[in-house]
Amino acid sequence: MASIAAEALAARIKAAHHIVVLTGAGVSAESGVPTFRDRQTGLWAKYRPEDLATPEAFRRDPETVWRWYEWRRSILEEIKPNPGHFAIAELEALPREFALITQNVDGLHAVAGSRNIIELHGNIGRTICSVERCVVSSWTLAGSAPPKCPNCGAHLRPDVVWFGESLPERPFIEAQDHADRCDLFLSVGTSTVVQPAASLPFMAKRSGAFVVEINVDLTPLSHVADLVVREKSGFFLPSVLELLK
């Protein structure tokens, strides 16, 4: 039987004209991708972001940073989207204006069938030149990692946003525009602490949207959201989609 929260959200979705979904690492947790801030299993419980996810760390020790991302990419090779990703892809198919904004770099939304994805923190599957920023799809590794750009010889790096770097400009402007105009905003599986992505649900709320948080834990958004659902997204979202059929 559907929960009261699932029924409430299904009713909101039916009435909405413009739906925005913001996702974070929690939406991929049920696929087996480690989150960042979970106390036991989160990546930042085991590694220091300043050693692995900053431009300074890459300048200091490019090999360690490259190898860490290689390890994270290797985890993803085995991993598949979960029912939460598929439910979000189904939402996009409804006849309404829709935007999916993600902080995730794992590419699982696309595998699940989502089409228009605003990737705020890049994509771990893409590699760019650390100087020219062009996307490089093949290279040969001669000597130590990271490999070198075939055009200019600079180190290659993952196309992700590191701490201290700006978000890609156009995607963030697009995300802000959707947050400002939508009437229903779902924040799914994000700790809502990393700026500027964390500002989006608050912006939507200020602009009059109904804001829903789906998260197993408390976040800074919890006391502001209109509906808070303390369930796993891979369990809760499919139950909502069932009610829309």
Q: Binding of ligand OAD at residue 108 (CB under 6 A)?
A: no
Query: ω into residue 196 within 30 of 0, thus cis?
Result: yes
**Rounded Cα gap, residues 134 and 33, in angstroms:** 27
Which range touches ligand OAD (CB under 6 A), out of 5-13, 27-35, 129-137, 142-150? 27-35
Residues 123-162: x where in contact with ligand OAD by CB under 6 A, - otherwise, as a string:
--------------------------------------x-
Q: Binding of ligand OAD at residue 26 (CB under 6 A)?
A: yes
Amino acid identity, position 148: K
Q: Which of 138, 130, 137, 134 is nearest to 156 (CA)?
A: 130
**Rounded Cα gap, residues 221 and 224, in angstroms:** 5
* Min dist. Cβ of residue 163 to ligand OAD (A): 6
Look up 121 and say whether it is catalytic: yes
User: 85, 109, 121, 155: which one is catalytic?
Assistant: 121
**Rounded Cα gap, residues 74 and 26, in angstroms:** 19
**Are 232 and 214 within 8 A, CB to CB?**
no
Q: How many CA atoms lie within 13 A of 170 on its CB side?
A: 1
Coil, strand or helix: which one is 19? strand
Which range touches ligand OAD (CB under 6 A), out of 8-16, 56-64, 177-185, 186-194? 186-194
Which range touches ligand OAD (CB under 6 A), out of 18-26, 88-96, 131-139, 201-209? 18-26
Residues 45-84 that bind ligand OAD (CB under 6 A): 53
- For ligand OAD, the binding residues (CB under 6 A) are 24-26, 29-30, 35-37, 42, 53, 103, 121, 161, 189-191, 194, 214-217, 219, 232-234
| Active site members | 121
